[in-house]
Amino acid sequence: MSHEPDAEVSLQPEEGWHCTHSYYTFDWGELTGLEEYETAAGREEIIAILDPQGPEAPMRLQTSIVSGHKADFGLMLMDPDPLKVDAVHQRLMASSLGPAMFASYSFISLTEVSEYVPSLEQYGQKLVDEEGETSGSPSYHAKMKAYEQREGHMRRQRLTPEFPAWPCTCFYPMNKKREVVENWFLLDFEARRRLMGEHARTGMTFGGKVTQLITVGLGLEDWEWGVTLWARNPGFLRDIVYRMRFDEASARYAVFGPFFTSYITTAEKMLDHCRIGIQTEPV
């Protein structure tokens, strides 16, 4: 039994951030019951609450217009403090438009670095074992240095990600299968690493077209992982998911939850699109 009395008692993980994906639907029965000035006020309040530069905004705050009937808009929120993330939801609900909207779905998770990414030491060993490098040689050093930078960038991008500037995004939760014959969690580490490596290489072929972020729901959510994709255009969302479905990691072991496709924009444009508080001309 290992005691670590020094581990801090805190709502914040030791590394990485909390992440919440939230989806909201407007209720026009309630909206119609509001006075015009209430809707106008609510509109301004929502714009303020969803301002990524606002005084109470979490570290990341992204607003998008959702396609289809599942929701009208989506939020992607990240911060070290889970209550700061959740406070965005509570401020929306307590706003003048709160009575006229409801949360249709959410997914809570944590950022993390995948255990399948080699550490610097593991990478060095791999150079020697698999690529015939001599430890300590100039080319070994050059490669190690390059990896160190890449790995550092990758860690930051996983734990405290910057979001890409692409407008098309899709979120879905997923599990790994635990069937009688095909059980991810009964595979040994090496087998899992190999499958995830193959999967990652497929992902890399979409470099410049699609960016992916995996966050972890294990211990927090109904699903084990959450996948967020950003794409240059919506066709690439389809292309990468279709292509990846043939990877053994997906084909044999993945179980997928609901998909939420949305288009990134500002709170103001989202409200315009949803016709909230705008002068509605006779259509």
> What are residue 7's phi and psi, to 5 degrees?
-60, 125
Conformation bin of residue 86: beta by default, left when phi > 0, alpha when psi is -120 to 50: alpha
Please, which residue, 193 or 232, has the CB nearer to a second copy? 232
Binding status of residue 204 toward a second copy by CB under 8 A: yes
Interface pick for a second copy out of 117, 118, 263, 268 (rule CB under 8 A) = 263
Binding status of residue 78 toward a second copy by CB under 8 A: no
Binding status of residue 13 toward a second copy by CB under 8 A: yes
Task: Choose one: 20-28, 126-134, 146-154, 155-163; the region binding a second copy (CB under 8 A).
Answer: 20-28
* CA nearest neighbour of 18 among 87, 72, 115, 117: 87
Q: Output the smallest distance, CB 160 to a second copy, in A.
A: 14
- Is 172 in the active site? yes
Record the tokens describing residue 228, joined without a space: 């967020």
Q: Output the smallest distance, CB 120 to a second copy, in A.
A: 21
Pairwise CA distance, residues 169 & 265, whole Å = 11
Number of residues forming the site for a second copy (CB under 8 A): 113
Binding status of residue 18 toward a second copy by CB under 8 A: yes
Task: Choose one: 117-125, 138-146, 149-157, 234-242; the region binding a second copy (CB under 8 A).
Answer: 234-242
**What is the torsional sign of CA 137, 139, 141, 147?**
negative
Q: DSSP secondary-structure letter at 3?
A: -
Q: Which of 172, 242, 253, 263 is catalytic?
A: 172
Record the tokens describing residue 49, joined without a space: 């609450």
Binding status of residue 79 toward a second copy by CB under 8 A: no
Binding status of residue 241 toward a second copy by CB under 8 A: yes
Please, which residue, 155 or 209, has the CB nearer to a second copy? 209
Interface pick for a second copy out of 53, 129, 222, 279 (rule CB under 8 A) = 222
Residue 82 vs residues 47, 149, 233, 260: alpha-carbon distances, Å: 21, 30, 32, 22
> What are residue 210's phi and psi, to 5 degrees?
-135, 140
